[in-house]
Structure 1
């Protein structure tokens, strides 16, 4: 029985005849922190939208806790790059919004359930914003706004937390601070995180698992085959403990970044599907016989 938190198999997605995602296979266990990187146009944000339920695949299956993914609901929390806070509501009221929607009270800014307030304050304390509960978003720094957005997502206790370039608009020092903060929160709350970023250093620092999505690969279909969409070309297990920021200067860390860049970002370097670095214990891959019908270790449909 598959007990994975998130299971994706044989997922394809195209727009106007252009293939964006070309047979995505992914299994994520509870408590995993998946960093997702890849070159422009590889389908990172498309994959995130499919998991969120904003869009649906052309083919394939996406399930959370064994149940097919539907439209967006409380099974998936989301934190975007641009802050998702309502400017006319305080930090506390922004965090309470999910609970109000759940109770059908979103339209009433004056209704507050005391149990919900207590819970919201506990999450604001976790993100170190308990003293800013009565402030409005414009009174907060960018880093504080993003911490409030994380609390807004976490209060609904989603089985999977999706993060789409959440620190991309922050200055480098604030970004470093929030990276360490997120790792601490992930360990404390035992979160399952799917984190999309274009920053390889951030991805390698944060993840317990690093997924490289890329359209730069080859298979047995030959050069005349239709344009290939993004595929998971590497799946690295990473240390699952929060590190000091000093690790970013370590030579081994820098070599990992170089390996990741070589695996999926250079259009001149195109691995064959049989050569993908799928070393994580949960990795699996399905391929069509015309893509690759030789070798071992790859499940053929």
Structure 2
């Protein structure tokens, strides 16, 4: 693999600007927002047990599980490029015990020392560039996955609205029957007492218990259906925000990729040793390294720690 990489040339890009694209910690706001919205969504969306009144709610849950897994993969960035030495061999006669080897790409770009070779610096930049390209592809796919979710939730919201109408009508009907029964019951009880029919009174009592139970069930289902509809509609709003946040989050790998192309292009025109990279470009590489590490922490500190199994 190193041999193949050594033979590759930096693709043609526009001349390196002395003012590369601005990199800011704000680029991570959208990925953080995606994680936050997903956590809120899972707390809002009714459980499968609560959704039993609806027909075929599983589709949304399976799609949501796929999205969650893809998000975890998208936030788990490749750190292997960090572990590649940007140094000469330890036995190199030109090294000095007073020179500390650069610990990062930005340090290597900032100061050419006997430890630093242009080829090794390029290799680190290439490995990182490939990791960023993979991250960019994963986020693009994540956006496509996210767009499926509102459609599935919108279908459930329609079913939930229909279920509310059905259960509410049934509740009203049952309540009307209950009111009608109380009037008829009084007449039957009075008639039974007038005829001395204790057995008739017992039948009326059992019938009363059944009517009460049916009325309670109808009222409970109507209340439950209303709750499900409200939460599904709230989840739909969150999903629409989620799609927008995912789309905005694609800017993070895009800006990193643009910066690395600028870095590789800048290295292409420098000498083998004592290469000179613009200071503002070096500073932005340092910011990019911190952003990359923060992106990884999103998984450890937010996603894994807060999101539970959606089932």
Is TM (by shorter chain) over 0.5? no
> Greater share of helix residues, 1 or 2?
2
Q: TM-score range by the shorter chain?
A: under 0.3
**TM norm structure 1:** 0.22
State which structure, 1 or 2, has the greater radius of gyration over its C-alpha atoms: 2
**TM norm structure 2:** 0.21
Q: Which has the higher contact order (CA 8 A, sep 6+)?
A: 2
